[in-house]
Amino acid sequence: MISFSGVWVKIAHVTPTVSAFYRVLFGGLFLLIAVCWKKEFTWKGWYHLLLGFLCGVFLALDLFFWHKSIHYIGPGLATILANFQVFFLASLGAMFMGEKVSPKFFFAILMAILGLFLVVGIQWNQLGSQYKTGVYLGLATAVAYTAFLLALRKLQSGQTETITFFGMMLVSFATALFLGIQAVYSGDSFIIPDMQSWTTLLLLGLTSQGIGWILISNALPRVRASFAGLILLLQPSLAFIWDILFFQRPTSAVNWIGVIMAITAIYLGTAKKSDDS
């Protein structure tokens, strides 16, 4: 479900910021239904509320950068770049949280850089300005996603189980608020112009922001970290395949080698914590 996020963004006839806004707004509404169903309306204090809004700020930046990068370089490469958060998160853990970094992790970073080099193109100077901007936005997505995960980790601290529907709903609506402000500032229209856009944006909110997030958050504590990381690599892998199938992305044998190297490197970085423990 989450691998189709980039596809829905690409074919919705709205700006990237507005598609991100409706993703979290519709997702938040679906989560609100779940909260009402499970009766999870609980007040945990202003600190918890502020953390939820902080998560919203970082997720808004993440989606803002990512949705723009999708329009510049396609959902496949944009999703691969977003998943580079693995390396930023682990690096911060090593620098500020005393986590150990194995030699395999440094090897994974080198493999990821080489893989990205092969995917993006060896002749960087000959690429168009929009394509380069899309790559930079994809990497900015990874940085913002890292900050979001750290804030979300703080939001979840002290809980015995995964983040509740209420917590996910709070983050979704906070993100919608900040994206809505950005859309107004940019002069974007909130009008959903046609049935195709309504369908894709509803699917984006329901599957990517709602059901997908719920399934992942509830599955992670029940499987090994390395196995979960491997399964979640289906997102960038399938996103790249959808990019080729639906949008005729030109992909050479060298590009495929780069994709395989980058995704393998992401897996090695994801599996690091499991190996250390």
pLDDT digits (tens, 9 = 90+) for 206-265: 998 888 877 877 776 676 655 666 677 778 888 888 988 898 888 888 888 888 888 888
**What percent of the chain has a predicted confidence (pLDDT) above 70?**
86
Residues in the chain: 277
Return the pLDDT at 238. 86
Taking the C-alpha atoms of residue 264 and residue 115, their distance in angstroms, rounded to an integer, is 9
Q: Average pLDDT for residues 116-138, to the nearest whole number?
A: 81
Residue labelled with tokens 């090994």: 224
Q: Average pLDDT for residues 18-32, to the nearest whole number?
A: 94
Return the pLDDT at 162. 47
161-177 per-position pLDDT tens digit = 445 678 788 889 999 99
Structure-block tokens of residue 129: 């300005």
Return the pLDDT at 139. 93
Taking the C-alpha atoms of residue 249 and residue 230, their distance in angstroms, rounded to an integer, is 25
- Residue 259 contacts residue 240 (beta carbons within 8 Å): yes
- Residue 84 contacts residue 139 (beta carbons within 8 Å): yes
Q: Average pLDDT for residues 29-41, to the nearest whole number?
A: 84
- Residue 171 contacts residue 56 (beta carbons within 8 Å): yes
130-162 per-position pLDDT tens digit = 888 999 999 999 999 988 888 877 776 655 444
Q: Average pLDDT for residues 103-114, to the nearest whole number?
A: 81
Return the pLDDT at 157. 63
Kindly report the average pLDDT of the chain as a whole number: 83
- Residue 81 contacts residue 142 (beta carbons within 8 Å): yes
Measured from the Cβ of residue 55, the count of other Cβ atoms closer than 10 Å reads 28
Return the pLDDT at 159. 54
Taking the C-alpha atoms of residue 139 and residue 159, their distance in angstroms, rounded to an integer, is 31
Give exposure, 108-118, as e/b (b: 16+ Cβ within 10 Å): bbebbeebbeb
Residue labelled with tokens 């995960």: 149
Give the predicted TM-score (pTM) of the model: 0.83
Compare 70 and 88 and report the one with higher pLDDT: 70
CA distances from 209 to 139, 168, 215, 240 (A): 21, 9, 11, 20
Question: Domain range spanning residue 207?
Answer: 2-276
Confidence of residue 267 (pLDDT cuts 50, 70, 90): confident
Return the pLDDT at 68. 94
Written as one letter, the residue type at 136 is Y
**Which residues fall within 8 angstroms of residue 156, CB to CB, at 6 or more apart?**
162, 163, 167
Q: How many distinct structural domains can be found in the chain?
A: 1
